[in-house]
């Protein structure tokens, strides 16, 4: 037995026949709306000024191109780590309490820079 399934879209704004489903997201929430070509054009025209000046991000959030693999840290990260280690060592020798991990208080960094 053969079966033929026909899907008909209805424009979510005015109830006319829709030509497409338009997907967009705003504030981290994704939306899909069925629109006629005319209403899809109106939506795009309304967003043009914002899209023209916005940054493009990948699907699923701001982090683009992310994978499960861990890449080697960039050289600036290695420099920052060695600098942070030097600050921690200096702070320990000079009576400041600084944890082995986490953010170094600004007051300690300022004291290190003004030594």
Q: What CATH number should be reported for the domain holding residue 80?
A: 4.10.320.10
Helices (H), the chain: 37-53, 75-93, 106-113
Each residue's pLDDT tens digit, 44-103: 999 988 888 888 887 655 544 545 555 656 666 666 788 888 899 999 999 988 888 888
Each residue's pLDDT tens digit, 5-53: 988 999 999 999 999 999 988 888 999 999 999 999 999 999 988 888 8
Residue 44 lies in a domain: yes
Confidence (pLDDT) at 20: 92
Cβ atoms of residues 14 and 39 within 8 Å: yes
Separation CA 27–CA 44 (nearest Å)? 18
Residue ranges making up the domain that contains 88: 75-114
Cβ atoms of residues 9 and 34 within 8 Å: yes
Number of separate domains in the chain: 2
> pTM for this one?
0.47
Select from 6, 7, 37 the least CA-distant residue to 22: 37
CATH of the domain at 34: 3.30.60.230
Confidence (pLDDT) at 64: 47
Residue 62 lies in a domain: no
Residue 38 lies in a domain: yes
Residues 8 and 42 in one domain: yes
């Amino acid at each position: 037995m053969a079966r033929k399934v026909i899907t008909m879209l209805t424009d979510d704004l005015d109830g006319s026949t829709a030509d497409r489903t338009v997907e967009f997201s705003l504030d981290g929430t994704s939306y899909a709306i069925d629109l006629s070509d005319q209403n899809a054009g109106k939506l795009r025209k309304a967003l043009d000024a914002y899209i023209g000046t916005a940054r493009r991000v990948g699907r699923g959030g701001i982090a683009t191109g992310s994978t499960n693999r861990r890449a080697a840290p960039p050289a600036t990260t290695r420099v920052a780590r060695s600098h942070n280690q030097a600050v921690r060592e200096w702070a320990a020798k000079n009576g400041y309490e600084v944890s082995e991990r986490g953010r170094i208080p600004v007051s300690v960094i300022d004291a290190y820079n003004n030594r």
